[in-house]
Chains A and B, each alone.
Chain A
Amino acid sequence: MTWHSEQITAAIDGEVIVMGMIRGQYVGLDDIGSVLWKLLEQPQTIRQLCDELGLRYQGNSDTILADVTAFLEDLRSIDLIEVVDAGSTR
């Protein structure tokens, strides 16, 4: 998974807001979402993202996996990220 090519990213008070340039859909991210978003500038697997979060935040790995998966699905469903290599992300 990585940033969709047709999106524009900005930050307000350190929190990220992203807008798709084709349809104008947008989403504001909280602090953890903002961390994930910055990582996604480079292609990431779900495992890589979970590992990264595990280093920064306390939390059980199942919870992290569930949260990251849901986060990615939300962004993918509104075309703000895209799958670059399906094999490496699942």
Chain B
Amino acid sequence: MSSPPVPPLPDQGKDCLLYGYRLRSVVPLPSLPVMPEGGVPDLSLRRGRVPEQLAGAVWASPFVEIGGDGSVLVRIPGIVAFLIRDGGCLTLDENSNAETSTIETFLFSAVAGAILHQRGVLPLHASCVMVGDVAVAMAGVSGRGKSTLAGALSMCGHDVVTDDVCPVDFRDGKAMVIPGPPRVRLWPDAAGLLGLSHAGLETGRPNHPKRVLAARGADVGPKRLGAVIRLDIDRRLDTPVLYRLTGPTAITPIEELVYRARLGRRLGRRVGLFRDLVRLATIVPIYQLVRPEEGVDPSRLADLVVSALCDNGKEKAGG
């Protein structure tokens, strides 16, 4: 059960920044910020042989397998495949003809999730923008409107920190968000809600209906997390409501707050994720924003998000 050999690292080329890590890649990744030359890369992306299946896989699904050594295979059959080892050694299937936009789409989602879990970093399932000098993370499973809300806030002038995958690093008693690619993935209806022309936006995977809003990004440094806002939908409501969560409800269900929590647990992060979330809840206020399913102007939700940060500031000033 030998894993395929690691191809040599490209010694040339520009490094780019992926979720706070210096990535040296043989394939162009135009959505990522370019790093100054001279540093030692944290991550490498090379082309090489990627097996059809992982020998001795401890878990397998149609798209993802986990090897006994904690390596992760992400494969979209016939399109693209990545092997992720040791939290930073990425191999892109040498037989894949996938376009750059397809490579980026999966690199920034499932592959990034695998890297962060392998490295023991907490990835919130959240889109994140700057409000004043702090970052606010809007969290929830797919379909809750994270990206739409981030898009709405972006159009109000808030810098986008990351979309969908939101790595959090704990430093000096603070929770810091590590910025991701400053782009927001939108369905056509969400683009419409934001008043954007579907045709005017970039595509992700060729011919796929999802579109990419290239937003103004924050600078590349870590940002202090000022609040987490968990998004929920309740058809019974007529108008959106925002309230503070306290106690264990702030971080449960864990699966709704962490990006691919089950993958993390299978990579040995069961206790680590629990501890990180408890720590997060003791440092950062966590809110719930519940909206009716339809008929809410995204800018109204954006105002509520901003108001959470302002209330939080008052609380701190008062106490």
Contacts and interface: CB of A to CB of B under 8 A. Distances in A.
A12 B282 contact: yes
What interface size band does chain B fall in? 10 to 19
A8 B274 contact: yes
B274 A28 contact: no
Interface string B274-299: 11001001100000000000000000
Interface in A1-20: 8, 10, 12-17, 19
Given A17-B248, A26-B254, A12 B278 contact: yes
Nearest to B247: A15
A36 B282 CA distance: 22
A21 interface: yes
B252 interface: yes
Contacts of A26: 252, 254, 274
A72 to B, nearest CB: 19
B271 A28 contact: no
B4 to A, nearest CB: 31
B265 interface: yes
B251 A17 contact: yes
Nearest to B255: A24
Nearest to A30: B247
A10 B250 CA distance: 13
Contact of A13 (B247, B254, B265, B270): B247
Nearest to A29: B248
Given A10-B275, A12-B281, A19-B270, 16 more contacts: A12-B246, A12-B247, A12-B248, A13-B250, A14-B247, A16-B248, A17-B247, A17-B248, A17-B251, A21-B270, A21-B271, A24-B274, A26-B252, A26-B274, A28-B247, A28-B252
Interface of B: 246-252, 254, 265, 270-271, 274-275, 278, 281-282
28 contacts: A8-B271, A8-B274, A8-B275, A10-B275, A12-B246, A12-B247, A12-B248, A12-B250, A12-B251, A13-B247, A13-B250, A15-B247, A16-B248, A17-B248, A17-B251, A17-B252, A17-B278, A19-B274, A21-B270, A24-B265, A24-B270, A26-B254, A26-B274, A27-B248, A28-B248, A28-B249, A28-B252, A29-B248
